[in-house]
């Protein structure tokens, strides 16, 4: 592998992988993209992430970094000269940003997965309720941490925005499989406005263009 190289092992539909692509685009870092077949993982993936064997993996100068939120923080630290920090400078604000990104992983991913996997019935209704509650909590968090700006990061896009935005690609799938309308059910005007804004951010737009929502619906509903 050439030196000073940046490789991303990913699967196009992964909200975790998209975080890495958004962060690289924010920093203006060029990368080589490898699409993995998760049914038939490459030797490079198994060697780079022997513990979890999951995408995304960032390989920087031949050295792998795993786990999407850790990768995004690594990118922020490895390309610090950029005038666009992803994490806030202030230690307390950094901790709060990490808290909410972690909340997205623990709560939103989990509730979303239950919507997709549960058969129609009580279990799925509970999953939808939980998902809506997560959105409402994030709506409150946005008002608290955004300092009046359009992003969780304030005037500029930041860590929580990068962590959360890729999930928007999955909303259509949650709605289709859960048979509900997320924004109608949640009534989260701030978060809804945030979603429109963040989807219009050039780095986000470019990075997530690999996962058009209807394509994710198709992936989940075929056969």
Ligand X SMILES: *[C@@H]1O[C@H](CO)[C@@H](O)[C@H](O)[C@H]1NC(C)=O
Number of residues binding to ligand GSH, judged by CB under 6 A: 11
* 133-138 long-range Cβ contacts below 8 angstroms, 24+ apart: 134/103, 134/107, 134/108, 135/108, 135/182, 135/186, 135/188, 135/191, 136/186, 136/187, 136/188, 137/103, 137/107, 138/100, 138/103, 138/104, 138/108, 138/164, 138/188, 138/191
Report what 120 binds from ligand X, ligand GSH, none; CB cut-off 5-8 Å by kind.
none
Report what 7 binds from ligand X, ligand GSH, none; CB cut-off 5-8 Å by kind.
none
DSSP single-letter state for residue 170? G
d(CA 67, CA 219): 23
Nearer to ligand X, 34 or 183 (CB): 34
> Which of 2, 3, 4, 40 touches ligand X (CB under 6 A)?
40
Nearer to ligand X, 3 or 40 (CB): 40
Nearer to ligand GSH, 67 or 175 (CB): 67
d(CA 171, CA 214): 10
Residues 34-73 that bind ligand GSH (CB under 6 A): 38, 53-56, 67-69
List Cβ neighbours of 173 (8 Å cut-off, separation of 6 or more).
Answer: 116, 213, 216, 217, 220
Report what 42 binds from ligand GSH, ligand X, none; CB cut-off 5-8 Å by kind.
ligand X
Report what 68 binds from ligand GSH, ligand X, none; CB cut-off 5-8 Å by kind.
ligand GSH
Number of residues binding to ligand X, judged by CB under 6 A: 2
> Which of 16, 100, 151, 152 touches ligand GSH (CB under 6 A)?
16
Any contact of residue 42 with ligand X (CB under 6 A)?
Answer: yes
Residue 4: CB atoms within 10 A of its CB come to 7
Least Cβ distance, residue 125 to ligand GSH (angstroms): 25
Contact status, residue 127 vs residue 175, Cβ threshold 8 Å: no
Q: Give the interface with ligand X as residue ranges (CB under 6 A).
A: 40, 42
Q: Give the interface with ligand GSH as residue ranges (CB under 6 A).
A: 11, 14, 16, 38, 53-56, 67-69
């Amino acid at each position: 592998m050439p030196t000073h190289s940046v490789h991303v092992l990913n699967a196009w539909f992964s909200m975790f992988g998209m975080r890495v692509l958004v962060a690289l685009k924010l920093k203006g870092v060029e990368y080589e993209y490898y699409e993995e077949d998760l049914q038939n993982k490459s030797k490079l993936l198994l060697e780079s992430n022997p513990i979890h064997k999951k995408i995304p993996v960032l390989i920087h100068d031949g050295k792998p970094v795993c786990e999407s939120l850790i990768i995004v923080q690594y990118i922020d630290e490895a390309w610090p000269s950029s005038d666009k920090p992803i994490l806030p400078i202030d230690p307390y604000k950094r901790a709060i940003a990490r808290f909410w990104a972690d909340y997205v992983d623990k709560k939103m991913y989990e509730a979303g997965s239950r919507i997709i996997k549960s058969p129609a019935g009580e279990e799925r209704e509970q999953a939808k309720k939980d998902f809506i509650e997560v959105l409402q909590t994030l709506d409150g968090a946005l008002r608290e941490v955004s300092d009046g700006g359009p992003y969780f990061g304030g005037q500029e896009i930041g860590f929580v925005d990068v962590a959360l935005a890729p999930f928007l690609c999955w909303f259509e799938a949650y709605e289709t499989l859960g048979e509900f309308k997320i924004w109608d059910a949640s009534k989260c005007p701030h978060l809804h406005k945030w979603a429109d804004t963040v989807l219009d951010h050039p780095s986000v737009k470019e990075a997530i263009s690999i996962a058009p929502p209807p394509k994710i619906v198709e992936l989940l509903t075929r056969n």
